Amino acid sequence: MGTRSRTVEELTSDQGGHISSETRINDRIRVPEVRLVGPNGEQVGIVRIEDALRLAQESDLDLVEVAPQARPPVCKLMDFGKYKYESAQKARESRRNQQLTVIKEQKLRPKIDQHDYETKKGHVSRFLSAGNKVKVTIMFRGREQSRPELGFRLLQKLADEVAELGYVESSPKQDGRNMIMVLAPHKNAKAKPKATKEPAGS
């Protein structure tokens, strides 16, 4: 395999941090000598760049500059294509995990009737059970704005009644005509089957 001249937009190190936005590999590494690290992390030592490139070719691997600021720069022998693929996979997995938490929203009125309240609470419970956060908004109109305690008490009641599924991540706060609270699911809160009651006397 001949030496390949490539740069990458991003390469992550074994520790998970970015190595460089413009990683140099193979014959793009233009220094007289490098501190060489083997493919399994073993320290080879300081070698001439020609010897490092030769070792890479003989091993059918790439010479990748992983610490350009070091003196001399640290380079590692690795399968660059495989490494880049695995890094992309990790980045995708990380983004997927970040997207798992979705913020849903439920809006209530401070003088909501019991039936509507139970319906809204059911939605909140379902969202939390699915692992989503819920932004609960109390909407005040007219003279209701002079009674913020009504909204506060309603939010507290809701938080207490869904406490098994989630917790208050952001306490109730007045925001103009609205009062907002954010509920977050417990880490182990996934849709759980309802427990069946044992027959009396069992």
The per-residue pLDDT for 146 is 84
Read off the pLDDT of residues 45-89 as tens digits, 9 standing for 90 and up: 999 999 999 999 999 999 999 999 999 999 999 999 998 898 899
Q: Contact, 49 vs 32, CB < 8 A? A: yes
Give the whole-angstrom CA distance, residue 31 versus residue 127: 57
Which residues, in sequence order, are bridge partners of residue 140? none
pLDDT digits (tens), the chain, 202 positions: 444 433 333 333 443 344 445 789 999 999 999 999 999 999 999 999 999 999 999 999 999 999 999 999 999 999 999 988 988 998 888 877 665 567 899 999 998 999 999 999 999 999 999 889 999 999 998 888 888 898 999 999 999 999 999 999 999 998 888 999 999 998 765 544 444 444 444 4
SS3 category, 159: helix
Q: Contact, 36 vs 77, CB < 8 A? A: yes
SS3 category, 147: coil
CA distances from 38 to 21, 47, 58 (A): 23, 12, 13
Tell which residue, 153, 152, 163, has the closest CA to residue 128. 163
Contacts of 192 (CB under 8 A, 6+ apart): 129
3-state secondary structure 80-146: HHHHHHHHHHHHHHHHHHHHCCCEEEEEECCCCCHHHHHHHHHHHHHHHHCCCEEEEEEECCHHHHH
The per-residue pLDDT for 83 is 86
CA distances from 112 to 11, 75, 118 (A): 54, 66, 10
